[in-house]
């Protein structure tokens, strides 16, 4: 089965510039999906989860439009064709992943 | 001195570096030995808090270390071998708790190169309070278990900034001896390279506890040790200014003639072990200079008396805070003294503190200021055997 993981701007350079990664795997949960993703792109691991394996406090993971904080955390089921979004929480600001337009005179 | 210009100055032998960590990135300043005409680069690690920076000039290195902590993506230890032009961006975090510790790294508060005769040893102090050690010049790191397993650790409490290990003092004369300071936990020392540790807080008070002189639990803000006289230490406490002449076995109050003995930062003169610098703040409830006058205080008699240094510093309406690592003294003659404020001002003195210049305004909140004089690099190593 396949799952699509969408990456936020600041993390794309750690995945070869990809905005999204399509995983062909047997992952049934978010935890297994992330493990598959980290195996492909190891630099994503320490940015998304801490050394205890928890999703970082100011990172949100969604399956479709639901935050996994409300659906069982890392054990949240992931079905065929699911879309998983990794996003920085609003607590720290937006992450455009591209340069802001230069101000006049800069 | 003049205000800094936003054009990087290629660092080379004899240049003075100022490493400034802020709440939103790191800045590197460089100037010649006269310490006028500062140039700057940065911000490096835009948007990340940089609590710790260090310069490692041992064995001909010219390496700047920095910790960058993104609110989202966690804390990383990085280094630059070209004065900040390029930085490492490690795939995985090198400083992190092992799985059995059950802890996760919040912040790297201190990076400290080890003794000169152990040129590949480095230390990091982190939050939650723990000490990490590297024996391969920062490639790999391990938790210092002796301190982590100390029976006091579960009773350490976070101070206002978090439960952090913020000060690391490898004894320059005695191999295996190391002092650390923790807010709040106090001073701990080892004589056997980190295997066993003991609290070393005799004489230091804890204003915020019913027992004012507990074995541990003091909120020590900064400790400094003189390289030429390692048994001489000064300590800025959360209420209290102290000196030790017996390598931390006991502490005596030296708050003589200061407007307040509350403050965060402390620095020593590079050659005079009787000379220390502090920036007193009114109180823990109002962390601003007394009378809103920004004054550095200096003792030249080991704390028997302190004198205010204010020439060039704002003496009206200066509601500034200088944090625990945001005061630094360079090794030149006369010594350069530097400090950064939470309102993003960087001040410098090239006459040992007698007069001050605003080097830079408009920085993000300054979290740390470190300084170093660039010595001959790798190419010159052959000419300096033993360096």
Gap between the Cα atoms of A52 and B220, Å rounded? 29
User: Considering chain B, what is the average pLDDT of its residues?
Assistant: 94
List the domains of chain B with CATH numbers: 16-377 (2.130.10.10)
Q: The pTM is what?
A: 0.91
Query: At a CB cut-off of 8 Å and minimum separation 6, what does B95 contact?
Result: B75, B77, B105, B108, B124, B126, B132, B141
Task: Say if A51 is an interface residue toward chain B (CB within 8 Å).
Answer: yes
* B71–A91 CB contact, under 8 Å: yes
* A52–B97 CB contact, under 8 Å: yes
How many domains, chain A? 1
Gap between the Cα atoms of B165 and B268, Å rounded? 20
Domain ranges, residue A70: 2-92
Q: Looking at residue B376, what is its pLDDT?
A: 64
- ipTM of predicted assembly, 2 dp: 0.80
CA-to-CA dists, residue A42 to A8, A29, A45, B126, B170, angstroms: 16, 19, 6, 24, 35
Residues in chain B closer than 8 A to A14 (CB atoms) = 91
Query: At a CB cut-off of 8 Å and minimum separation 6, what does A75 contact?
Result: A29, A30, A31
Q: State which residue of chain B sits closest to A54, comparing Cα positions.
A: B104
* A56–B73 CB contact, under 8 Å: yes
Across the range A91-103, mean pLDDT stands at 46
The model's confidence at residue A91, banded by pLDDT at 50, 70 and 90, is low
The model's confidence at residue B375, banded by pLDDT at 50, 70 and 90, is confident
pLDDT in tens, A14-35: 999 999 999 988 899 999 999 9
Q: Looking at residue B10, what is its pLDDT?
A: 66
Q: Which of A50, A61, A87, A98 to mutate to test the interface with B (most CBs of B within 10 A)?
A: A50
B384 pLDDT above the threshold of 60: no
- How many other CB atoms are there within 10 angstroms of residue B204's CB atom? 29
B325 pLDDT above the threshold of 80: yes
* A54–B72 CB contact, under 8 Å: no
pLDDT in tens, B21-51: 999 999 999 999 999 999 999 999 999 999 9
Residues in chain B closer than 8 A to A88 (CB atoms) = 72
Q: State which residue of chain A sits closest to B97, comparing Cα positions.
A: A51
Q: Looking at residue A22, what is its pLDDT?
A: 96
Asked whether residue A34 is assigned to any structural domain, the reply reads: yes
Residues in chain A closer than 8 A to B98 (CB atoms) = 51
% pLDDT > 90, chain B: 91
Asked whether residue A40 is assigned to any structural domain, the reply reads: yes
Two structure tokens written together for A7: 């990456």
- CATH number, domain containing residue A48: 3.10.20.30
Asked whether residue A65 is assigned to any structural domain, the reply reads: yes
Query: Which residues of chain B have a Cβ shorter than 8 Å from any chain A Cβ?
Result: 47, 70-74, 76, 91-93, 96-99, 102-105
């Amino acid at each position: 089965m396949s799952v699509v993981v969408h990456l936020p701007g600041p993390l794309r350079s750690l995945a070869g510039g990809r905005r999204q990664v399509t995983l062909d795997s047997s992952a049934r949960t978010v935890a297994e999906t992330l493990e598959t993703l980290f195996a492909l792109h190891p630099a994503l691991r320490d940015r998304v989860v801490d050394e205890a394996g928890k999703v970082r406090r100011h990172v949100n993971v969604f399956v479709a439009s639901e935050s996994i904080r409300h659906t069982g955390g890392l054990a949240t089921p992931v079905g065929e064709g699911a879309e998983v979004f990794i996003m920085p929480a609003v607590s720290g600001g937006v992450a455009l992943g591209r340069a802001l337009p230069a101000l006049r005179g800069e | 001195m003049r205000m800094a210009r936003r054009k990087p100055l290629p660092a080379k032998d004899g240049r003075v570096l100022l490493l400034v960590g802020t709440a939103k990135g790191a800045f590197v300043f460089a100037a010649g030995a006269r310490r006028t005409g500062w140039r700057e680069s940065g911000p490096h690690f835009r948007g990340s808090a940089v609590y710790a920076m260090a310069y490692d000039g041992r064995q001909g290195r010219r390496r700047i270390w920095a910790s960058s902590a993104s609110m989202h993506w966690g804390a990383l230890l990085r280094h630059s071998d070209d004065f900040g032009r390029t930085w490492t961006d490690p795939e995985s975090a090198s400083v992190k708790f092992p799985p059995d510790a059950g802890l996760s790294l919040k912040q790297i508060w201190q990076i400290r190169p080890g003794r000169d005769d152990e040129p590949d040893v480095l230390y990091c102090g982190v939050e939650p309070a723990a000490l990490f050690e590297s024996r391969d010049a920062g490639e790999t790191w391990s938790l210092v278990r002796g301190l982590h397993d100390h029976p006091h650790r579960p009773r350490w409490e976070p101070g206002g900034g978090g439960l952090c290990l913020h000060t690391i003092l490898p004894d320059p004369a005695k191999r295996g001896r190391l002092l650390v300071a923790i807010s709040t936990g106090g001073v701990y020392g080892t004589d056997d390279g980190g295997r066993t540790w003991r609290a070393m807080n005799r004489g230091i008070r804890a204003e915020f506890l019913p027992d004012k002189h507990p074995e541990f639990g003091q909120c020590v803000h900064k400790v400094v040790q003189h390289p030429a006289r390692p048994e001489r230490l000064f300590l800025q406490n959360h209420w209290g200014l102290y000196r030790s002449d017996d390598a931390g076995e006991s502490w005596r109050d030296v708050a003589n003639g200061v407007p307040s003995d509350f403050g965060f930062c402390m620095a020593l003169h590079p050659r005079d072990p009787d000379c220390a610098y502090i920036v007193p703040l009114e109180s823990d409830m109002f962390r601003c200079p007394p009378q809103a006058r920004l004054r550095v205080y200096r003792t030249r008699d080991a704390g028997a008396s302190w004198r205010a240094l204010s020439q060039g510093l704002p003496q009206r309406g200066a509601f500034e805070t200088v944090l625990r690592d945001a005061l630094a003294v360079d090794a030149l003659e006369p010594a350069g003294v530097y400090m950064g404020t939470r309102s993003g001002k960087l001040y410098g003195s090239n006459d040992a503190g007698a007069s001050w210049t605003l080097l830079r305004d408009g920085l993000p909140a300054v979290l740390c200021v470190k300084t170093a004089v660039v010595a001959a690099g790798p190419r010159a190593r052959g000419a300096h055997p033993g360096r």
